[in-house]
Copies of this chain bind each other. A is one copy, B any other.
């Protein structure tokens, strides 16, 4: 795989900005200033730890990011969900107890935006892709964005993805066009081979209607949008064209999603085995299918499973797949050289209740209340991440990008001509609780700034009222359910809040957001 490295080196040379530092959002520099001394000490220590690990294993650490779909904060067993909700998650709970269980992890409020955030390290609003993509939409992940797989590929990683892509269906939007060496994937823009093709009512209470595909004019619709129901997914590899996988995930039955997941897991485990002793490290992006709506027949009779909830059997299957993946890493002797992070893409999609995810927080998918953006997450890296940690530190899905770059020794390959929102959280992982580097967030709802986080405080931005800037002000630490908001609580903070937002908007003017129309393919 040396050819790729050569290409990467040439690319870097031609861009010529490799030595400049990444550009972060305004508040970051204040945090950095306050913590400079501590961070310098930590960073030296981190560099030493990583150098020692590299010496031992002869390569940079492998990185596996598992992005799940619509699983709410509180759903896993370690958060009081799991068996208590009829969806036991023992392997995910064990992963949490063997590593770091993050109670304050955040994603974007919906599917496409979170995928963009993870893959580019940037707020979706900056990329021009601000919302969930639907069938027939022609925009997608812009070529100009530097994806995480491109970055890691340039740093010498072998890269692969499995699962739900959902960042555009044109060739230039595909995983391979964005740096992945290999991909087995589906659900470009919500439909072709995705959950919409589940037309059975398997495992659902009788009051839930059969979804989507059984309506008058169905066939015209399928033809118009080029939906081929016999396609279960696509494979693609560098230098090869995208190939539809016919029937791979079984017939168009209710087990279609489960079958897709099974095939993904099988391939992924083989990949890990193949790569274990390779000279290059690997990066896997596993974006699991929607774990709801339809179930897994194979798992519906598992112990403790709520039979009336399709999501429960899918969670059991997912749990098994994660177990197999971690077991494989251990069996191959590469667990201590592999970081695995598991995170959900957003809160529960209640439209599908009762077969949906769930959270006790306020709101769900699509909202910038905690129920929409606060998600369960775990980080696992035996020997490197101390077991049993439950940090209170804030973590955002964009941080996965910048942290991966740091671990890969590729921070200098992060583009420097745009704002990067992801922060390097290596210190949180390796130094543990209290060493996180994030103390702010911007929660966008589409193109609108819906809420901000300043430390423990969250402020929902609302239209002005009574001649005052209207802000619903919450202490999220004390009030995670967002029950006790109100202007009066934060009146003394109006000026700092306005300055904070001003700094963000100023940076945005300096580095303007990409226009969505730019991302349309040239032949449209």
Contact = CB atoms under 8 A, between A and B. Distances in A.
A77 to B, nearest CB: 8
Contacts of A484: 350, 353-354
B360 A481 contact: yes
A74 B80 CA distance: 9
A361 interface: yes
A330 to B, nearest CB: 23
A104 B84 CA distance: 9
A354 B85 contact: no
Q: State the 9 A-B residue pairs at the shortest beta-carbon distance, nearest first.
A: A360-B360, A360-B481, A84-B103, A84-B392, A86-B477, A353-B484, A79-B80, A354-B478, A83-B392
Interface in A331-374: 350, 353-354, 358-361
A85 B103 CA distance: 11
A308 B478 CA distance: 10
Contacts of A488: 207
A252 to B, nearest CB: 28
A54 interface: no
Given A84-B477, A86-B477, A86-B478, 4 more contacts: A84-B390, A353-B484, A354-B475, A358-B479
Interface in A71-115: 74, 79-80, 83-86, 103-104
Nearest to A86: B477
A415 interface: no
Q: How many copies does the complex hold?
A: 2
A373 to B, nearest CB: 16
A74 B484 CA distance: 17
A306 interface: yes
Nearest to A359: B481
Interface of A: 74, 79-80, 83-86, 103-104, 207, 306, 308-309, 350, 353-354, 358-361, 390, 392, 456, 475, 477-481, 483-484, 488-489
15 contacts: A80-B103, A84-B390, A84-B392, A84-B477, A84-B480, A86-B478, A306-B477, A353-B483, A354-B475, A354-B479, A358-B479, A358-B481, A360-B360, A360-B361, A360-B480
A344 B480 CA distance: 20
Nearest to A481: B360
A84 B104 CA distance: 9
Nearest to A475: B354
Contacts of A104: 84
A380 to B, nearest CB: 19
A443 to B, nearest CB: 19
A84 to B, nearest CB: 5
A437 B330 CA distance: 41
Given A79-B80, A80-B80, A488-B207, A478 B358 contact: yes
Contacts of A358: 478-479, 481
A100 to B, nearest CB: 14
A478 B309 contact: yes
A479 B72 CA distance: 12
Highest count of chain B CB atoms <10 Å: which of A392, A478, A488: A478
Nearest to A360: B360
Contacts of A309: 478
A510 to B, nearest CB: 36
A79 B81 CA distance: 10
Contacts of A478: 85-86, 306, 309, 354, 358
A291 to B, nearest CB: 15
A457 to B, nearest CB: 12
Contacts of A83: 392
Highest count of chain B CB atoms <10 Å: which of A84, A360, A481, A483: A360
A131 to B, nearest CB: 25
A309 B484 CA distance: 14
A392 B88 CA distance: 11
A89 to B, nearest CB: 13
A86 B456 CA distance: 10
Contacts of A354: 475, 478-479, 484
A412 to B, nearest CB: 36
A63 to B, nearest CB: 27
A255 B489 CA distance: 26
Contacts of A74: 80, 360
Nearest to A77: B390
Contacts of A359: 481
Nearest to A434: B304
Highest count of chain B CB atoms <10 Å: which of A79, A103, A481, A484: A481
